[in-house]
Structure 1
Amino acid sequence: MPTMPPELATERLRLRLRDGRDAEWNLELIAEDPSQESRPLDEERKRLDAQRRAADERGFGVYAIEVADTGEPVGYCGLVTTRATPAQPELAYELLRRHVGSGYATEAAAAVAEAAFDSGIPVLWAIVERWNAPSFRVLEKLGFRPSRVTGDGGKVLVWLYRKAPRGRHRARG
């Protein structure tokens, strides 16, 4: 089973597995998407704490992205299995609107992808709604390639993948 580190760092960012401490800004992120339903702060804390426990058990999860110099939260990035598998998880990320266009999504996603490959994960998936041009730009920079298009509840989803660079992932045993 792959095990990713609980924290990652880039030149500008610090990533740590998210938990209940991230509930307040995560509710702000949810509120920016009209298709999402908000929930009480206490319920969100419990949900994120459960998500952290699941990440500890699975060996990977979702990281809170923070500006390294200030600790300001900007969004999340990590690996999920909602529409993928533990052997080939999905790379997921989302930023608070005020941080979109900063390059943080690309920087965080690159760090998570490299850590995933270093941990032994051979393939990553990304699943993006067809309208989401900014996410396609991020994934193109990271070397993801389209695989197929599916529908889900009226949404058109594009599935992209990236294989671990040769020699970058360790053998799984």
Structure 2
Amino acid sequence: MSDGSADPAIDGEGADPGTDEVVLRTDRLLLRPWRVEDAAVQRELWLERDPRVPPHRRIDADGHPTLEDLEEWIRTHPPGRTGLLAVERRTGGEVIGYCGLVDSGRGAEDEPELAFELLRREWGQGYATEASLAVLDWARTSGHVRLWATVREWNTASRRVLAKVGFVETDRVEPDDVHGRTIFTTRLL
């Protein structure tokens, strides 16, 4: 069983020499920048999303984003101080989702939001918790003091993961009668 500990490596094994790519390692996972060939996994995530997820985060009636759209997004959005990293199993090398930090603008200055999503077939194996703990370590070593995470009230699995990694629900809630209320959680590092 993994303790979820991470060894954040910058310019380390798995990163392109001469870059400052972030590569995080845990017992079972490698979190790394997206590669164009990972676009198919991104599209699968879009296709699997719960119908209660707002439409702008699902495949639209015209089939967008397409595989080509996602490939272009990967090419034009290199990771920086924040970003969503591909979550890859160290054994076998399959990409199973993403985890990382996003500047959503919902928190205070320099307080990014933790975000994660895994393919349904990977749920229930502790990968989201393990990846989130690695990202929390990365955030701490990057100088962040507090993180946010938002979650739909109906998303009990993600709420459990957030609680396991130390996020607490706040009184801040965004009502949404169509897609379900959004709960704001926070965690001091």
TM-score if structure 2 supplies the norm length? 0.77
SS at match of 2:166: coil
Task: Measure the CA separation in 1 of the matches of 2:21 and 2:167.
Answer: 23
Matching of residue 51 in structure 1 with residue 56 in structure 2: no
SS at match of 1:94: strand
Matching of residue 39 in structure 1 with residue 65 in structure 2: yes
| Higher helix proportion | 1
Residue 26 and residue 160 in structure 1: after superposition, are their counterparts in 2 closer, same or farther (change >3 A)? same
- In the alignment, structure 2 segments of 5+ residues that lack a partner are 1-9, 11-19
Matching of residue 76 in structure 1 with residue 101 in structure 2: no
Is the 2:82–2:103 contact (alpha carbons within 8 Å) kept by the matching residues of 1? no
Residue 28 (structure 1) aligns with:
44
Larger deviation, residues 42-51 vs 67-76: 42-51
Task: Measure the CA separation in 1 of the matches of 2:73 and 2:33.
Answer: 13
Larger deviation, residues 125-134 vs 20-29: 20-29
1:128 to 151, 164, 168: 151
Task: Measure the CA separation in 2 of the matches of 1:5 and 1:107.
Answer: 20
SS at match of 1:7: strand
Shift of residue 88 of structure 1?
0.4
Identity level (%)? 39
- 2:99 counterpart letter in structure 1: C
Residue 5 and residue 144 in structure 1: after superposition, are their counterparts in 2 closer, same or farther (change >3 A)? farther
Shift of residue 50 of structure 1?
2.4
Is the 1:19–1:51 contact (alpha carbons within 8 Å) kept by the matching residues of 2? no
Task: Measure the CA separation in 1 of the matches of 2:21 and 2:143.
Answer: 12
Is the 1:19–1:48 contact (alpha carbons within 8 Å) kept by the matching residues of 2? yes
Task: Measure the CA separation in 2 of the matches of 1:153 and 1:83.
Answer: 23
Runs of 4+ in 1 over 6 A off after TM superposition: none
Larger deviation, residues 92-101 vs 4-13: 4-13
Matching of residue 161 in structure 1 with residue 183 in structure 2: no
- 2:106 counterpart letter in structure 1: A
Task: Measure the CA separation in 2 of the matches of 1:5 and 1:23.
Answer: 19
Shift of residue 153 of structure 1?
7.1
- In the alignment, structure 1 segments of 5+ residues that lack a partner are 165-173
Residue 131 and residue 116 in structure 1: after superposition, are their counterparts in 2 closer, same or farther (change >3 A)? same
